[in-house]
Amino acid sequence: MGIINITPDSFYVVSRVTEVEQVRLKAEKMLIEGAIFLDLGAYSSRPGAADISEQEETDRLLPAVEAIVANHPEAIISIDTFRAAVAEAAVKAGAHIINDISGGELDENMFTTVARLQVPYILMHMKGNPQTMQQLAHYEDVFAEVFDYFVQKIYQLKQMGVHDIILDPGFGFAKKPGHSYALMNRMDEFDRLQLPVLAGISRKKMIYGLLGTTADQALNGTTALNTIALMKGANILRVHDVKEAIEAVKIYEALKRVEAL
């Protein structure tokens, strides 16, 4: 899953695109490199990011969706938003998946909207919102809390008729690096929920903070941790750098083929 940030406020500067033609070219490059999904976001969810209006988010997002649909109809488009109205507008414009960082907590209409639209839903764990989440990174047992959260949310969604659900543990969202590594270490245990798991760790502070570098310098660490994520059961890697992630997937799949002989 290739990340396309249509915002001037993403934590990784190189990932930012603000013009429709830039979006089209970035999408084309990612698809050529092997991306299956393109994840478009117009609201920065980095810690402490500025809030923007629903209208501004929609105005940034829809031209990008329309451009990708027109030029790359084969692309599977995911929309990174916690707002139900933005999600619905994007799906009507041609998007296929809703990627909600808040698990329906920031918009009470999100679950009913997803159920009505009957699109796949990425359910992520977070506390608070992007402006407050880092003050809420407190857990007795982070894995148990995230697992219980998933159990409750999956039940709610299925009761409403949403069955195509992807789980995202929310690495770095209301989690200190130690919490994120604890989740990674036990990520294979989410398999008990019998749903696909997405790992979104690309160039995050859990990598560059540990290595004493920056997001710009975190590609090697990201590739290493993506490989571990695959070994821990990740089904989807959400990344800024598609080519390198695809290489990690190919090496991991070759290893699995040998193990199966």
Q: CA 241 to CA 20: how far, in whole Å?
A: 20
DSSP-derived letter for residue 174 is S
Alpha helix segments (H runs only) across the chain: 20-33, 54-71, 84-93, 110-117, 142-159, 177-185, 205-211, 219-231, 242-260
DSSP-derived letter for residue 235 is S
Angle at 242 between CA 237 and CA 245, to 5 degrees: 55
Closest C-alpha to 33, from 247, 224, 203, 215? 247
- Tell me whether residue 158 is one of the annotated catalytic residues: no
- Tell me whether residue 204 is one of the annotated catalytic residues: yes
Q: Residue 159: is it exposed, middle or buried by C-beta count within 10 angstroms (0-12/13-18/19+)?
A: exposed
Containing H/E element for 139? none
Looking at 60, 204, 205, 232, which residue is catalytic? 204
For the annotated catalytic residues, the residue numbers are 204, 238
